Chains A and B, each alone.
Chain A
Amino acid sequence: MIKGLYSAFTAMEAAWRYQEVLANNVANATTTGFKREVGAMQSFDDALLSAQAAVPAPFPARIQAIVGQIGTGHFLADLVTDFSGGNLETTGQELDFATDRGFFAVRTPDGQVFYTRDGHFLRDGEGNLVTPHGYFVLDAEGAPINLPPGPVEANADGLLSVGGAPVATLQLVDFTPAQLTRSGEAYFRAAEPGVPVPGGLRQGVLEASNTNMVEELTTLLAVQRTYQANQTVLARLDRTLDQAAGEVGRLA
């Protein structure tokens, strides 16, 4: 019976953790380049991310994956990032980019390199191509890109030109899922260098979040009920134990 207390508690904790993931997916439903997290039934194979389909498990299976065997308190909390592409939204801004394949590379002031599908870039005061936080966007050689004044044109291979003169080529690299770890909502850290991908750059377009609102909210409600059910079990077991400890054998 004590064991039952623990299995109910573990299931509640797992449900809570999954709820955190779902809440984050919902909150980032409009975050550019956001990649949702889901509970995984199976691991990805070693193909490049651009060859991956959307994560296939239907949501009840995912709840099962997270909450798992309630009877033993065992759960398979394995969260994976769903790398499937978000919708492409046309913005018409010359420094908004999306890529069909691969990731953009950005460098923070302390020298760390991150990879992202968020191609919302700007110029800074010196004309460098930067993210909204001011991190440098890197070219194919891994150096920051400095744009002279004037309208920017980009071709599908990532070559940026200003006034017809080529300036730099955006770095576009792809990875296998195992090579990337999440760092915040739309950025990833890579253990090894990526594979350069040819073409697929679009100018004046941003990749929207791949949050699936209907699925997140449905799962949210289902997980809430799982939590509730286990809370009830826990409360009932507590009462039973109370009776066992306090009332059985008591002289009237």
Chain B
Amino acid sequence: MTTILTAAASGMVHAARVVDHASNNTANAQTFAFKSTRALGTGDPLVASENGRLGVALTASDLLMGTGNFLPDDNPLHFAIQDDAFLRMADGQGGVVYTRLGALTLDGEGNLVDPSGRFTEPRIQLPPGVTAAQVEPTGEISYTDAEGNRQVAGALSFVKFRNPQGLSQIGGGLYSEGPNTGAIIEGVPGTEPFAPLHGGVLEASNVDLARELTTVLVAQRLYQASAKVFGVGDEMLRLATDLTQ
């Protein structure tokens, strides 16, 4: 008897989820290396009931892994990843997380850290008193020592996933493995199948603002229409119950 209300409510819930995704994307339109997400209404043949009219069966959310534009940046420790590889970072609790953001800096002890102070995995520390540290296209960190010679302090570690869309976003531009990420391939940038790093740039957000705003407008109309249907269904129930008075 309440199927009208159920279907209408599912439309409202779906619209709200779409707006959640769009607002998160919009807020991160200027976040370096941010990957947008999208929410799509999807039918499901296996949850269909006998009369099969339950509204939106599933809101499927996808991580969109398209590479953002590269923006020039004069920090020699900044770089962009040109293919779908990820940089390994320490999560601070003995585990490994992954990021696309190549905005590394040095902390007070000469450790290579990300903007939140996380160490790279493996940790790379520059000796005291060195100058001109920079990231090489292969991921090695080089510097000039006191005698003026170029030295290598270590190499950043990069991985590729069979299915990068299966990663879970855990905030702060970090990702963790999920059940669907599949096999992990380790490699050196510049050696097949890894593209060399692009130094002197940072990857911009891949959010398309025009698309997000269009999505919000459509979702708002869906919400309005579903709310209207809900109201009509409610009114019809009232008429039905009035009969017994």
A residues engaging B (CB < 8 A)? Answer: 12, 15-16, 19-24, 26-34, 92-93, 108, 112, 114, 116, 118, 120, 122-127, 131-133, 149-150, 182-187, 189, 206, 209, 213, 216-217, 220-221, 224, 227-228, 231, 234-235, 238
Contact = CB atoms under 8 A, between A and B. Distances in A.
Contacts of A206: 40
B162 A126 contact: yes
13 contacts: A16-B236, A19-B4, A19-B233, A23-B53, A24-B7, A24-B54, A28-B41, A30-B14, A31-B41, A31-B42, A122-B165, A125-B162, A125-B181
Interface string B176-203: 0001111101000000010000000000
Nearest to B183: A125
Contact of B233 (A23, A30, A125, A228): A23
A221 B56 CA distance: 22
A120 B61 CA distance: 11
By size class, the interface of chain B is: 35 or more
Best-surrounded residue of A118, A125, A189, A234 (most CB of chain B within 10 A):
A125
CB-CB nearest 4 A-B residue pairs: A27-B11, A185-B43, A186-B43, A125-B182
B153 interface: no
A234 B54 CA distance: 29
Contacts of A220: 228-229, 232
Nearest to A22: B229
Interface string B158-177: 00101101100000000000
Interface in B217-245: 218-219, 221-222, 225-226, 228-229, 232-233, 235-236, 239-240, 242-243
Secondary structure at the B interface, as helix, strand, loop or mixed, is mixed
Contact of B180 (A21, A116, A125, A150): A125
Nearest to B1: A16
Contacts of A123: 162-163, 165-166, 182
Contacts of A108: 45-46
A211 to B, nearest CB: 9
Contacts of B181: 125
Contacts of B166: 123-125
Best-surrounded residue of B53, B62, B162 (most CB of chain A within 10 A):
B53
Contact of A120 (B7, B40, B47, B55): B40
Nearest to A216: B225
B3 interface: yes
A30 B4 contact: no
A242 B182 CA distance: 72
A213 B229 CA distance: 11
Best-surrounded residue of A16, A33, A127, A213 (most CB of chain B within 10 A):
A16
A23 B46 contact: no
B43 A27 contact: no
Contacts of B204: none
B228 A217 contact: yes
A187 B43 contact: yes
B64 interface: yes
Given A24-B54, A32-B40, A125-B181, A231 B240 contact: yes
A122 B218 CA distance: 24
B218 A30 contact: yes
A220 B231 CA distance: 11
A231 B181 CA distance: 57
B48 interface: yes
A26 B42 contact: no
A92 B54 CA distance: 30
